[in-house]
């Protein structure tokens, strides 16, 4: 008889993050549904998140939820900027927990990529004075792409308001019953815009060198960690590279990951791209897993995403130590 591996698959082993135990290493990444009215969760969100919880994912993370109305990608984004949003979110979190999954939510601000149409409506930018449009903001007055709005450059006082909005959203997430919060610092949205020299050309303390560009993200982490329960994990989603020469890169990500961990982040969720339409992405099975591996090699727990489609593929990544989730 040939020898067999009696070891249980790592994919189906628990992962402890602070006082929260994920039943397995499979997580549902946040996926925008663009199906809200005034930011409210609906039956659609219950069905979308609930189906993945029923399917056995250990962690289900609700989509990018705007910490302010101006921080939505589209006028139909999910929101967590007012107390009235809590009830609908709580219904989804409670259902996911009842199916054995750990419920999480991603807190986000779209920055200069706000005020756009839904993907099935063309996905393009919407002017300030057009239906479904509003003024966008960013670190610098640099439009994301041709035809997009030139963002208002946030003042230092306005940046403080952004930090306060993230913290207030975390308080609402706790009230709604979520056990995990993830800060969205990827895909060209506001926190990523401050990180990337492609979008941030400020000359004050929130721009310039690495420390200046990382300042807003670290301030948001600190503010959220202060109000988020000590026993509950905080995740950070990053774009590990802009895929553009002169942009944010993997070395920057590893450096940020260490600082984020020191500030209270428990796992870095490694995606990529989104800061520039000039990006040149090399896509293939598991193409972003090396970013998670680089973060984990630096001593920071990581999550891998991106064309991981087979259980054997996921198990191999976990077995070789490329990621934790």
Q: Is position 206 annotated as part of the catalytic site?
A: no
CA 119: distance to chain centroid? 19
Average pLDDT over residues 23-27: 98
* CA separation, residue 49 to residues 29, 67, 100, 102, 258 (Å): 10, 20, 13, 11, 31
Q: Can you give the pLDDT at residue 202?
A: 98
- pLDDT per residue as tens digits for the range 209-262: 999 999 999 999 999 999 999 999 999 999 999 999 999 999 999 999 999 999
Residues in CB range of 28: below 8 A, 6 or more apart: 49, 52, 57, 59, 60, 61
Report whether pLDDT(108) > 70: yes
pLDDT band at 5 (very low <50, low <70, confident <90, very high): low
**What's the rounded Cα separation, in Å, for the pair 215 and 40?**
31
Tell me what percent of the residues of the chain surpass a pLDDT of 90.
98
Average pLDDT over residues 142-162: 97
Report whether pLDDT(6) > 90: no
pLDDT band at 2 (very low <50, low <70, confident <90, very high): very low
8 or 267: which carries more pLDDT confidence?
Answer: 267
* CA separation, residue 297 to residues 50, 56, 142, 321, 323 (Å): 34, 28, 35, 8, 9
DSSP string covering 5-50: --SPPGGGS-EEETTEEESSS-EEPP------BTTB--HHHHHHHH
- Using alpha carbons only, what angle is made at residue 301 by residues 298 and 307, rounded to the nearest 5 degrees? 105
pLDDT band at 1 (very low <50, low <70, confident <90, very high): very low
Report whether pLDDT(24) > 70: yes
Report whether pLDDT(153) > 90: yes
Q: Which of 185, 183, 175, 170 is nearest to 228 (CA)?
A: 170
Q: Which of 152, 285, 149, 140 is nearest to 198 (CA)?
A: 140
Q: For the full predicted model, state whether its pTM sits above 0.75.
A: yes
SS3 content of the chain, % helix, strand, coil (to 5): 35, 15, 50
- pLDDT per residue as tens digits for the range 34-93: 999 999 999 999 999 999 999 999 999 999 999 999 999 999 999 999 999 999 999 999
Q: Can you give the pLDDT at residue 8?
A: 87
* Most distant pair of Cα atoms in the chain: their distance: 74
Mean pLDDT (the chain) is: 97
């Amino acid at each position: 008889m040939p020898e067999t591996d009696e070891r249980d698959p790592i994919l189906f082993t628990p992962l402890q993050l602070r006082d929260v135990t994920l039943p397995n290493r499979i997580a549902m990444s946040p996926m925008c549904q663009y199906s809200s009215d005034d930011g409210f969760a609906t039956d659609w969100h219950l069905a979308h998140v609930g189906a993945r919880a029923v399917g056995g994912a250990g962690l289900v993370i609700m989509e990018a939820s705007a910490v302010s109305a101006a921080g939505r990608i589209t006028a139909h984004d999910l929101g967590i900027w007012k107390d009235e949003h809590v009830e609908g979110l709580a219904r989804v979190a409670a259902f996911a927990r009842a199916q054995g999954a750990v419920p999480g939510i991603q807190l986000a601000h779209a920055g200069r990529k706000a005020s756009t149409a839904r993907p099935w409506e063309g996905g393009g930018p919407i002017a300030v004075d057009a239906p479904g449009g509003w003024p966008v903001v960013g670190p610098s007055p640099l439009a994301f792409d041709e035809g997009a709005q030139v963002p208002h450059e946030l003042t230092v006082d306005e940046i403080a308001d952004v930090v306060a909005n993230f913290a207030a959203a975390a308080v609402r997430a706790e009230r709604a019953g979520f056990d995990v919060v993830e800060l969205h610092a990827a895909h060209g949205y506001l926190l990523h815009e401050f990180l990337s020299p492609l979008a941030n050309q400020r000359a004050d303390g929130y721009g310039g060198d690495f420390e200046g560009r990382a300042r807003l993200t670290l301030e948001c982490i600190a503010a959220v960690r202060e109000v988020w329960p000590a026993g509950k994990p905080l995740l950070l989603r990053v774009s590990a590279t802009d895929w553009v020469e002169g942009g944010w890169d993997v070395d920057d990500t590893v450096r940020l990951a260490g600082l984020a961990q020191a500030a209270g982040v428990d796992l870095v969720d490694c995606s990529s791209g989104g800061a520039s339409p000039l990006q040149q992405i090399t896509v293939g099975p598991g193409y972003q897993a090396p970013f998670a591996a680089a973060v984990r090699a630096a001593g920071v727990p990581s999550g891998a995403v991106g064309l991981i489609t087979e259980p054997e593929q996921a198990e191999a990544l976990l077995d070789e130590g490329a990621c934790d989730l």
